[in-house]
Copies of this chain bind each other. A is one copy, B any other.
Amino acid sequence: MYGLIGKMLTEPGQRDVVIDILLRGTEAMPGCRSYIVARDPSNENAIWITEAWDSAEQHRASLALPSVQQAIAQARPHITGFGERFETEPVGGHGI
């Protein structure tokens, strides 16, 4: 499996707007086992996204899906940058 842990930074006051866009745009992604969007309680402009995929290829392919492309286009104006980013190799557990 292929995993990603990453932090996204948004314009002040726009975090929940971006979260809504992310949740709507990522509902049906082939090969996606887990995609969890979370607020950062220590930074009101930060979002944590944790992902588990069957493969890195399927993650890469998801970026070309129309729903994901649309979400990226809608969210981009509100995104100011990115923080930590870690690639992982999920092995198992609950929820994947």
Interface on A for B, CB 8 Å cutoff?
1, 3, 5, 19, 22-23, 26-27, 29, 32-42, 48, 50, 52, 84, 86-96
Contacts and interface: CB of A to CB of B under 8 A. Distances in A.
Contacts of A19: 91-92
Listed from nearest, the 7 A-B pairs whose CB atoms lie closest are A34-B95, A38-B88, A39-B89, A36-B93, A38-B90, A35-B94, A95-B95
Contact of A90 (B27, B36, B89): B36
A88 B26 contact: no
A86 B33 CA distance: 22
Contacts of A26: 93-94
A50 B35 CA distance: 11
A63 to B, nearest CB: 16
A38 B95 contact: no
